[in-house]
Amino acid sequence: MKSFLAGLGLGFGIGVLFAPMRGDDMREMIAVRASEFGDTARETYEQVREKAQGVATAIRGEQSADEGYRSGTLG
């Protein structure tokens, strides 16, 4: 994740240096890219959060099964 964000920032910086534009165009481009970056960051956050919730649920399920087995209610 960190390398993706670093690459994104580096690519943006190099693009700005090698393709200069008028001030208005540059500000608009920065606003659009910042918005896209925010959308990507939100989507990535949601994906990671969903995976973490799935893992936590699976772990809780395994613990419940283990506890039931040890108490004699399962198996």
Q: Radius of gyration (Cα) for the chain, nearest Å?
A: 23
Instruction: Evaluate whether 8 touches 16 at the Cβ level (below 8 Å).
Output: no
Cβ neighbours for 26, distance < 8 A, ≥ 6 positions apart: 16, 20
Tokens 């893992």, residue located: 55
> Does pTM surpass 0.75?
no
pLDDT band at 47 (very low <50, low <70, confident <90, very high): very high
Q: Domain coordinates of the chain in residue numbers?
A: 21-75
DSSP secondary-structure letter at 20?
-
Longest dimension (CA), the chain: 74
pLDDT band at 72 (very low <50, low <70, confident <90, very high): low
Residue in 32, 40, 35 with CA at minimum distance from that of residue 7: 40
